[in-house]
Structure 1
Amino acid sequence: MSRLLHRDGAPPVPASELFVTSADGSRIHVEVYGPEDAPAVVLAHGWTCNTHFWAAQIRDLAADHRVIAYDQRGHGLTPEPGPGGYSVDALADDLEAVLAATLAPGRKAVLAGHSMGGMTLMAAARRPGLREHAAAVLLCSTGSGRLTAEATVVPLRPSAFRTRLTTAILGAKAPLGPVNPVSKRILKYATMGAGSAPGRVDTCARIVHACPRRARVGWGRVLAELEVTAEVRELRVPTAVIAGTDDRLTPPVHARAIAAALPVGLGLTELAGAGHMTPVEAPEAVTAKLRELTTRYVATVKATEATEAATSEKEDVA
């Protein structure tokens, strides 16, 4: 397995690490940060990334939040799945396993997903585990379907030919090679805004290039066929959406459609000049939205326990 080991972009040392077992027996690597009784946030990264993608959010939130981040199948320290292990159902299974292992029964958290992580949350919208634990959701730079038809990575007018080329790129088996000036320019064009700082481009390049090729290809093929539009309407918790105006992989048309379809939508924030990698490109905006959601929708464990105790005392007196 490959893993990003880049000190400048790394999150702090986790309070604990564990592997949880998903429905098909896959082992999912999880990192836990921050005080046990603080408001909880669960972070699901996107295609070709790993937990280090959330480093800025983890560094900021871990001081006063319980932050749970996990590696998707085949990414970071989570092993590649076996035959049949690449599917949106598997993503939802893994999320449910992480929630069950890291949150006490009934404990609520803000769930945030970037790109494929957002698709994971949408795919799990009907799942009991999500409905039990989700107080609110943040969807960053994601889409629910027609990903290859809407992507503008290939600089051609919309057409069946452009869609086929985009599909081929998502499933390409060619190795990405080393991180160098050329590969960083390519990655910046495809995934980030033109004004992205060099350090942030370097961070994203090292994360993406660390993803094993089989996982990149396997999930790329799943994304090419992704369709979870119906599940968006089942995401029945307060949900905010963030998108970069210059996102070529999941252009804002996706975010606008999702925001319009959400049963309990909290609106769409479009970040001017940002590309697809919003948590890295605009970390302050993403972190601020997470803090806003936890403040509004998640009580601390101590506060919840105090409320339950007070309620129990009143019932005893009655």
Structure 2
Amino acid sequence: MMLFTAERTPSGTSYLATGQGQPVVLIHGVGLNKEMWGGQIVGLASHYRVIAYDMLGHGASPRPEPDTGLLGYAEQLRELLDHLQLPQACIIGFSMGGLVARAFALRYPQRLQALVVLNSVFNRNPEQSAGVIERTRQVAQYGPNANAEAALSRWFSREYQAANPAQIAALRQTLASNDPQGYLTTYELFATQDMYLADELGSIRAPTLIATGELDPGSTPQMARELAARIPGAQVAVLAEQRHMMPVESPRLVNQVLLDFLQRLQTSQHPTQGIVA
């Protein structure tokens, strides 16, 4: 059994680390916490030093000030790397974590060994933007549990929900127990920053993989392809029949995509652009 304990940085960021080798940092999505990465920690830790942490306003980390922007979340990641004395790392961000990873890549390119963006958003169309803005309004009025049921239905296949009721109930509880202000601050960024510094994405030079699920309704294959087109040499992986929470629902499949990408970095620092799956 893999054993590790959660620790804290001087500023209060809660994180866990296990394994040895090149560092890989995992950033969860809005409303979740570092525990979502259990399948990836198990799958990657025999090859890499894996670090997962709680974003501001989530889990056991401090909540952000109401006016905190994406740069504040990138600064949290920078402080974590400094605390661990890591000059560089591969950054893997899921959903909202993908926005944080993008912001970090643009603010601290010298700290980025490689970039992976999973099931994240880019260039929402008017209908998609209206939907997420409405969900933000509901969160502001009713709190973190405002749209939990709809979120779980988007995130997981019906078959997975039916086969794993205890895990779905635990996730429902995680969403409901979020700090209201921290959750709202983060959700507002998730809802509005899909085009954050989009015109600067061409400056990213680290090897990059953009991946999502074929059936992810909020982080669509089209978004993944459009985002990858902005980043020189970025690869795209669209995982067949997968929905938003594919790291949780299909960890072996996601781990194989991650390991294929990470292991190719050892032989090539400039992967060619293309479709991986």
* TM beyond 0.5: yes
The equivalent residue for 2:100 is 120
Query: Cα–Cα, structure 1 residues 68 and 95, in superposed 2: closer, same or farther, change >3 Å?
Result: same
**Which of 5, 25, 28 is matched with 2:13 structurally?**
28
Does residue 213 (structure 1) correspond to residue 177 (structure 2)? The answer is no
In structure 1, what is the Cα distance between the partners aligned to 2:170 and 2:237?
A: 24
**Which of 239, 252, 272 is matched with 1:271 structurally?**
239
In structure 1, what is the Cα distance between the partners aligned to 2:170 and 2:214?
A: 21
Partner SS for 2:160: coil
What is the CA distance between 1:53 and its match in structure 2?
Answer: 0.8
Unaligned runs of 5+ in 1: 1-10, 22-26, 152-162, 300-318
The equivalent residue for 1:98 is 80
- The amino acid that maps onto 2:50 is V
The equivalent residue for 2:115 is 137
Does residue 223 (structure 1) correspond to residue 207 (structure 2)? The answer is no
Does residue 287 (structure 1) correspond to residue 255 (structure 2)? The answer is yes
Unaligned runs of 5+ in 2: 268-277
Partner SS for 2:32: coil
Give the alignment's Cα RMSD to 1 decimal: 2.7
What is the CA distance between 1:295 and its match in structure 2?
Answer: 2.2
Partner SS for 1:236: coil
What is the CA distance between 1:43 and its match in structure 2?
Answer: 0.6
Query: How many residue pairs were aligned?
Result: 260
Does residue 81 (structure 1) correspond to residue 78 (structure 2)? The answer is no
Residues 259-305 of structure 1: per-residue CA shift (max 9 Å, x gap): 2221121x211122222112112211221222223323259xxxxxx
In structure 2, what is the Cα distance between the partners aligned to 1:281 and 1:188?
A: 12
- The amino acid that maps onto 1:97 is E
The equivalent residue for 2:264 is 296
**Which of 142, 148, 153 is matched with 1:189 structurally?**
153
Partner SS for 2:219: coil
In structure 2, what is the Cα distance between the partners aligned to 1:183 and 1:92?
A: 26
Query: Cα–Cα, structure 1 residues 39 and 98, in superposed 2: closer, same or farther, change >3 Å?
Result: same
- Preserved contact between residue 145 and residue 175 of structure 2 (Cα < 8 Å): no
Partner SS for 2:41: helix
The equivalent residue for 1:19 is 9
In structure 1, what is the Cα distance between the partners aligned to 2:238 and 2:168?
A: 20
In structure 2, what is the Cα distance between the partners aligned to 1:239 and 1:201?
A: 31
Does residue 111 (structure 1) correspond to residue 111 (structure 2)? The answer is no
**Which of 245, 250, 268 is matched with 2:219 structurally?**
250
TM-score under structure 2 length normalisation: 0.82
Does residue 60 (structure 1) correspond to residue 43 (structure 2)? The answer is yes
TM-score under structure 1 length normalisation: 0.73
Residues 96-138 of structure 1: per-residue CA shift (max 9 Å, x gap): 1122222433xx432100011111111122223xx23322211
Q: Which runs of 4+ in 1 moved over 4 A?
A: none
- Preserved contact between residue 57 and residue 186 of structure 2 (Cα < 8 Å): no
- The amino acid that maps onto 2:118 is C
**Which of 132, 149, 154 is matched with 2:126 structurally?**
149
Partner SS for 1:264: coil
Compare CA radii of gyration and give the structure with the larger one: 1
Determine what percentage of the aligned residue pairs are the same residue: 25
In structure 1, what is the Cα distance between the partners aligned to 2:72 and 2:123?
A: 17
In structure 2, what is the Cα distance between the partners aligned to 1:46 and 1:64?
A: 24
- Preserved contact between residue 48 and residue 75 of structure 1 (Cα < 8 Å): yes
**Which of 29, 40, 43 is matched with 1:46 structurally?**
29
